[in-house]
Structure 1
Amino acid sequence: MSTSITRHPKGLYLLFFTEMWERFSYYGMRAMLILYLTKTAMEGGLGFDARHASLIYGFFTGFVYFTPLIGGWLADNYLGQRKSITIGGITMMIGQFCLAAKADPVFLSLGLFLLIIGNGFFKPNIAVIVGDLYKPDDPRKDSAYTIFYMGVNVGALIAPLITGYLAITYGYRWGFVAAGLGMMLGQICYNFLSNRFLGDLCKEPALKKDEDGNVEKEPLTKEEKDRTMVIFILVAFCIFFWAGFEQAGSSLTLYTDKYIDRNVLGFVIPTEWFQSVNPVFIILLAPLFSMFWGFLSKRGKNPSIPIKMAMGMILLGLGFVLMLGAVWQRGGDDASVLVKANLLWLLGTYLMHTMGELCLSPIGLSMVSKLSPVRLASLMMGVWMLSSFFANITAGFIASFFVSLGAMSIFAVIAVTSILLGLFLLAVSKWLTGKMHGVK
């Protein structure tokens, strides 16, 4: 798509902008969700207990990453990626406005359902188009996904600040309205500019059909089978990573709200705003990580994809070790709620988690694009996101025991499990790299 070996296609920046506003919509809503569910009606919430709210949160964020498997299959077989993105974006916009319509369990259920369905059409297909802007062996592809990933985090950065402010000042309804308007803006730009910047790319389904309209089923080659197997194995490891990482929106949010000293120079930082800490670190660190991988690559020392992912899991575990420090500073789980932990423990945790994410998430998107058989590209992207389905449901169950088991137990289990699995992935990384048949 591009005549330059160094510059990226203009289509990448359209996709960057579209994804930025979709993530603004999602993370703006997510930053409020657990608090909206647990705050009393007098505070504008639904008044659910923490266990019930954590399960709702976990199942919602889980199914958001299950439906991409279906949306990817429909795009590959019938719709094409371009049309799927429009269907998904409009559906999610309506879902946000349903949440804004009324603080009621019925509107809550309808809104979350539409967000789940819409994300299934949107999420895997926009990631596939990014990869299809480049030839399979184009060295710019890893860099393109890093740029795209920064778009994700620009949206995730500004969303909690805006929706959190509106929720605190005017009520949760207006936070959801802002999330819906963000989704609308992204879709308007995408639909007006996609023909200009993307041409005919991904308008039609990728699967070949015969003269009767039936899909031609070509068997996978040995290399394709091996590479597909690697995707599934790494997806399995990523389940454990995201189960810990997604505590940010549940148990870490609840802990921050009650037990972290959020008073800075007389200003009490709203709990919702801490959802922007990770995106800030992403935006600051992503260029550095990209340059670091490039520096190592030029010297032939760039770690393989499995090694980078193992590093991500270990960093996640070390982040939770810091949260254990916060619990220890307070004197354990039995300490008075009036005793607060230093804010630096939480910021250090988010820093470690962000570094782990940069070793795993953008690398994973690029990996799926490189390893997937062309005719299964969206489906395999859906499989990659399936790790977040299982992870978010697991994260919800973990967070639901936050009150009964205590933060010390929850954080310790996640820390130990993540570090051990990371070490195991390091041990099998050479074998996995061999099964990738030269893909780096």
Structure 2
Amino acid sequence: MSKQKDIDTAFFGQPRGLSTLFFTEMWERFSYYGMRAILLFYMYYAVTKGGLGMSETTAASIMSIYGSLVYLSGVVGGWLSDRVWGPRRTVFIGGVLIMFGHIALSLPFGVSALYVSIALIVAGTGLLKPNVSEMVGGLYSENDRRRDSGFSMFVFGINLGAAVAPWAVPWAANGFGLNLFHGEMNFHAGFSLAAIGMFFGLVQYVIGGRKYLSKDSLYPDDPIDKESLRPVMIWTLVGVVVLAVVLGLLAAMGQLNITNIITIITIIAIALPIYYFIMMLNSKKVTKEEHSRVLAYIPLFIAAVIFWAIEESGSVVLALFAEQRTILHIGSWHFAAANFQTLNPLFIMILTPVFVTLWDHWKNQPSAPGKFAAGLVFAGLSYAFMALPALIHGTTAGRVSPFWLVGSWFIVEIGEMLISPIGLAVTTRLAPKAFKSQMMSMWFLADAAAQAVNAQIVKFYSSSTEVPYFLTIGLVSIVFGIILMFFVKRIHGLMGGVD
């Protein structure tokens, strides 16, 4: 039998295991983005409307810090997979925690259920998300030319789940189109659908995993020994004790509240990447050339933070704009504010093949710093665009066309095409040999830091302040992008031959 016939091509020319991981991540993203599509409204809607009755400011801050925690937890998830459980078991545990997190939200236990759900979903997503991607890579040999197309299909599955969820989950919360709740929102029904989605993902993951995933995925790549485990446990215990002391002091002073807890998490999310940069720049394991590359990565990291702060605002600030300032119908077609969350993944699916073709055929295309600079300008323009409705019609003129939001999302997704895939690639290329995994964590920490910053600045957003809010943040992004353009050659020089 020839080697060609031995190659597994059962899933559209790809290994059959890709089907298992494709649908696992599709259902996980369905559950996550479905939950996020309605969570903000659930938190600040009045109790009489089925919500928790929080202030709009607090709800927006919680949404942002929630996203930050999800990306922070990925660092722990990667370590547990590599050193303790192996990727397949780590992903399963993560999926179970996510499912129970959605179940907690589906029960009418108020604010306490919300915080339990956040803890479970943050931990679960941190375990599942980085390790599913790692297992996709494990399906291919180093020389398998199907790797890039396989990852493209995998990413399509992610965006497919994220695009369908903002329609399906709000539809459930609105009574499945049958007016079961007499025109009122039943958020718990929507969260239940998110839980069911994750359950489907787990079932097919377990069944498909046994048949089609490598047995190597059951074991950690670098299992930790007792001697190495001891300092990890000690430092973990120290961290828990320090956190307990801080929370205890806040409680003693009568300051233990959600606002101060969000502030603590914000500080951690910003301090952690700073610590990583200082550690790598001062490490004796880093060569002179690698030191230069880490320096080159710093302005790109800052650019990524600014970009993600704008891009991730879609489920917070733009969600508020959709609910409070947007006409929710086009002719006789009516839709929910939560449905706008589908625009992000939808435009990614539309634009990805366009930009892949562009990069394949553009001979003298800009370097990575140049693409980052352009991406920041587009991100800033998307926010400046959102200031136009109020500048034209005023903030007291009522609701405006939904096409303002569509246009803003389209512009920022052009920016994402210039930053997100380029950032992933350049991060791997600039990483010092001794800090490969930590450098990859840095890319996700940029998103964590961005959403932590958002948790503080969203407090200044309201319908009456939307013009200065959108213009100020938009101009910051545009100005930093223009400044970055002037330093493209210098940064590219520090990259030491990396394009």
TM interval, short-chain normalised: 0.7 to 0.9
| 1:391 corresponds to | 450
2:43 to 34, 37, 51: 37
| 1:185 corresponds to | 200
Distance 1:211 1:348, change over 3 A: closer
Q: CA deviation at 1:341?
A: 1.8
1:355-370 aligned within 5 A: 355-370=414-429
Q: CA deviation at 1:325?
A: 1.3
1:303 matched to 2:366? The reply is yes
**Amino acid of the structure 2 residue aligned with 1:205:** P
Runs of 5+ unmatched residues, structure 1: none
Distance 1:365 1:127, change over 3 A: farther
TM-score, length basis structure 1: 0.87
1:14-413 aligned within 5 A: 14-133=20-139, 143-169=149-175, 170=181, 171-207=186-222, 219-220=285-286, 227=293, 233-296=299-362, 300-331=363-394, 333=395, 335-336=396-397, 339-372=398-431, 378-403=437-462, 406-413=465-472
Paired with 1:295 and 1:20, the residues of 2 have a C-alpha distance of: 31
Q: What number of residue pairs does the alignment pair up? A: 432
Distance 1:81 1:430, change over 3 A: farther
**SS at 1:66's partner residue?**
helix
Q: CA deviation at 1:348?
A: 0.6
Q: What do residues 73-124 of structure 1 show as CA deviations (whole Å, max 9, x unaligned)?
A: 2223333333221121111111110011115011111011111111111222
Paired with 2:346 and 2:323, the residues of 1 have a C-alpha distance of: 20
Of all paired residues, the percent bearing the same amino acid is: 32
Q: CA deviation at 1:72?
A: 1.9
Paired with 1:145 and 1:32, the residues of 2 have a C-alpha distance of: 29
CA contact (8 A) 2:83 2:224 kept: no
Q: CA deviation at 1:279?
A: 1.6
Aligned-residue CA RMSD (Å): 3.2
CA contact (8 A) 1:45 1:103 kept: no
**SS at 2:174's partner residue?**
helix
Distance 1:83 1:415, change over 3 A: same
Q: What do residues 53-74 of structure 1 show as CA deviations (whole Å, max 9, x unaligned)?
A: 1111122121111111222222
Q: CA deviation at 1:281?
A: 1.4
Distance 1:208 1:38, change over 3 A: closer
**Amino acid of the structure 2 residue aligned with 1:381:** M
TM-score, length basis structure 2: 0.77
Q: CA deviation at 1:373?
A: 6.1
Q: What do residues 9-42 of structure 1 show as CA deviations (whole Å, max 9, x unaligned)?
A: 4444433322111111110010001100111112
Runs of 5+ unmatched residues, structure 2: 176-180, 231-282
Q: CA deviation at 1:205?
A: 3.3
**SS at 1:277's partner residue?**
helix
| 1:426 corresponds to | 485
Q: What do residues 332-370 of structure 1 show as CA deviations (whole Å, max 9, x unaligned)?
A: x3x24xx22222221110111111122222333344455
Distance 1:165 1:404, change over 3 A: closer
**Amino acid of the structure 2 residue aligned with 1:397:** Q
Q: CA deviation at 1:286?
A: 1.4
**SS at 1:346's partner residue?**
helix
Paired with 1:232 and 1:72, the residues of 2 have a C-alpha distance of: 23
Paired with 1:102 and 1:365, the residues of 2 have a C-alpha distance of: 40
Distance 1:62 1:122, change over 3 A: same
Q: CA deviation at 1:310?
A: 2.5
CA contact (8 A) 2:45 2:52 kept: yes
Distance 1:413 1:358, change over 3 A: same
Identify which range, 160-169 or 305-314, moves more after superposition. Answer: 305-314
**Amino acid of the structure 2 residue aligned with 1:341:** V
| 2:259 corresponds to | none
**SS at 2:132's partner residue?**
helix
Paired with 2:284 and 2:227, the residues of 1 have a C-alpha distance of: 16
Identify which range, 237-246 or 104-113, moves more after superposition. Answer: 237-246
CA contact (8 A) 1:94 1:111 kept: yes
Taking CA–CA contacts closer than 8 Å with sequence separation of 6 or more, which of the two structures ends up with the larger relative contact order?
1
Distance 1:182 1:340, change over 3 A: same
**SS at 1:342's partner residue?**
coil
**Amino acid of the structure 2 residue aligned with 1:391:** A
Paired with 1:78 and 1:220, the residues of 2 have a C-alpha distance of: 27
